[in-house]
Amino acid sequence: MSRLIRGGRVVTATDAFAADVLIEGESIVAVGTGLQGDEEIDASGCLVLPGLVDNHTHLSMPFGGTWSCEDYTTGTASAAAGGTTCIVDFIIQYVGGSLKDAREEWQGRADGAAHIDYGFHMAITDARPDVVAEMGECVEQGITSFKVFMAYKGALMVDDEQFLAVLEQTGKTGGLVMVHCENGDAVVRYQKEALEAGNTDPKWHAWSRPPAVEGEATGRAIRLAEWTKRPLFVVHVTCEDAVREIRAARDRGLPIFGETCIQYLYLTVDDLDRPGFEGAKYVCSPPLREARHQEVLYQALRQGALQGISTDHCPFNFKGQKELGLGDFTKIPNGLPAIEHRLTLLYDRSVRAGHMSIVDVVRHGSWGPARIFGLDRKGAIAPGFDADVVVFDPEVKHTISAATHVMDVDYDPFEGWEVTGKPRFVLSRGETVFEDGEVVSEPGRGRYVKRSVFEPALP
Ligand code: URP
Ligand code: ZN
Ligand code: ZN
């Protein structure tokens, strides 16, 4: 059966133009005018975008003695409601454990649970020689990117020796290394200093992880990538200090890539200083920054120093989870819920506010991440691509609230924000997953996507 999305304005990573989109089965087969389909979806007055790709999510992630509170069913439903049709989630290796065990655990959670397609990155937290030797098997299975953390000392952090081993191994196996850049030793020192002075509130989280801590780690990570002649993807870039390092590296011709996340474009360090313990809702790492960094992030996106805007969706309930850090900010689980709001916020706060065009939204939120992370059939409205499509109504006004969001988390960091624009229909491989405000798909229809290798092994 064919479906025709009729009368909308198609947006790609380079253009926006009036056209219809013809879908046969799971794929887009034509974009143009004068097309006919068995069934029609009315897109008049709407933008027709490739489904967004979120290459940075943490569903059911163990963190600080608890777990992020959305699983593969609720998290992918929230994604679908917001116009995201493919995620790449992080498997986390346990210290002492193998990559195979971690892979099986995460695949077991995702199998039969997801509403939309998903892939995995592998986060390596204990890069022993036998673990590094397992990386080739990950690549063979389509897990073609590896993440290391330079922060979270005593939990997820690797030292530079381990980081180098992971980079070097991708020279043999192919694959892209991703890195969380904060100097974990400095963070521990500043955390102790704050607590010893009796400074226990959420706002001290940001104080203990200043921009310089992110900038130093970013520069160091780039050096290690340069020595090993490997490309590098810097996740969740928040500030001028880090952007400066990435831009300088790219000016030297190095293949350094990076992303920011919506929370760093729209929220600020002031949110951590909300009355009472409310600031805990805004604790993520690296932390939210002063507003002046937001223009630097926009510039970096415009100039190509950063290529993606993801969410780093890592939700924890306020009650019982964020509250673990009452009286000690270092115990607040790190992360924000954001997966549902990316497209609407990008449209409302970035496009309508004049920071970027809707074409830029597609380039940074869909096409760019799909190319970097080897999602060969995602990220474009073009024949041969998966029919992952968002019909987005750019006029509808609504208010973001935990009372109405799909995310399974008891607060919303954007609570009360009045916004314009919302997906009307979302299709995943030709099937409607979201329509008129409801997720209509069954969990389990989403498929694991084997990703191709963005950067091959060294000759
Ligand atoms: O605060 C965050 N970002 N939590 C998730 C883990 C990470 O560092 O990406
Ligand atoms: Zn991180
Ligand atoms: Zn993350």
Instruction: Provide the pairing of β-strand 39-42 with 308-310.
Output: unpaired
The CATH number of the domain holding residue 317 is: 3.20.20.140
The reply to whether ligand 1 has any atom less than 6 angstroms from the CB of 334 is: yes
Substitution site in 285, 313, 339, 409 for ligand 1 pocket (most atoms within 8 Å of beta carbon)? 285
Q: What pTM was computed for the model?
A: 0.98
Instruction: Give CA–CA dist 305/398, Å, rounded.
Output: 33
Determine phi and psi for 324, rounding to 5 degrees.
Answer: -60, -20
Instruction: Give CA–CA dist 116/76, Å, rounded.
Output: 6
Contact assessment for residue 213 and residue 186, using Cβ atoms and an 8 Å cutoff: yes
Do 125 and 10 reside in the same domain of the chain? no
The reply to whether ligand 1 has any atom less than 6 angstroms from the CB of 203 is: no
Do 350 and 430 reside in the same domain of the chain? no
Instruction: Give CA–CA dist 218/306, Å, rounded.
Output: 13
At residue 230's C-alpha, the angle toward residues 228 and 235, to 5°, is 120
Kindly state whether residue 458 falls inside one of the protein's structural domains.
no
Do 387 and 274 reside in the same domain of the chain? no
Determine phi and psi for 359, rounding to 5 degrees.
Answer: -65, -40
Do 200 and 327 reside in the same domain of the chain? yes
Contact assessment for residue 231 and residue 256, using Cβ atoms and an 8 Å cutoff: yes
pLDDT tens digit at each of 459 positions of the chain: 999 999 999 999 999 999 999 999 999 999 999 999 999 999 999 999 999 999 999 999 999 999 999 999 999 999 999 999 999 999 999 999 999 999 999 999 999 999 999 999 999 999 999 999 999 999 999 999 999 999 999 999 999 999 999 999 999 999 999 999 999 999 999 999 999 999 999 999 999 999 999 999 999 999 999 999 999 999 999 999 999 999 999 999 999 999 999 999 999 999 999 999 999 999 999 999 999 999 999 999 999 999 999 999 999 999 999 999 999 999 999 999 999 999 999 999 999 999 999 999 999 999 999 999 999 999 999 999 999 999 999 999 999 999 999 999 999 999 999 999 999 999 999 999 999 999 999 999 999 999 999 888 877
The reply to whether ligand 1 has any atom less than 6 angstroms from the CB of 234 is: no
Instruction: Give CA–CA dist 88/450, Å, rounded.
Output: 11
Domain count along the chain: 2
- Nearest residue (by CA) to ligand 1, atom 5, is 335
3-state DSSP percent of the chain in helix, strand and coil, to 5: 35, 25, 40
The reply to whether ligand 1 has any atom less than 6 angstroms from the CB of 182 is: no
**Which domain does 13 fall in, by range?**
2-49+379-410+418-439
- Nearest residue (by CA) to ligand 1, atom 7, is 285
The CA 25 to ligand 2 mean position distance, Å, reads: 37
317's CB contacts (< 8 A; 6+ apart) are 69, 409, 410, 411
- Nearest residue (by CA) to ligand 1, atom 2, is 335
Of 146, 16, 171, nearest to 90 by C-alpha is: 146
The CA 53 to ligand 2 mean position distance, Å, reads: 18
Q: Which two tokens stand for residue 174?
A: 């192919």
Half-sphere exposure of 143 (CA within 13 A, CB side): 24
The reply to whether ligand 1 has any atom less than 6 angstroms from the CB of 180 is: yes
Instruction: Give CA–CA dist 446/107, Å, rounded.
Output: 13
The reply to whether ligand 1 has any atom less than 6 angstroms from the CB of 284 is: yes
Strand partners, 2: 24
The CATH number of the domain holding residue 428 is: 2.30.40.10
Q: Which two tokens stand for residue 177?
A: 């290394």
Kindly state whether residue 454 falls inside one of the protein's structural domains.
no
The reply to whether ligand 1 has any atom less than 6 angstroms from the CB of 335 is: yes
Do 349 and 397 reside in the same domain of the chain? no
The reply to whether ligand 1 has any atom less than 6 angstroms from the CB of 312 is: yes
Q: Which two tokens stand for residue 394?
A: 């750019």
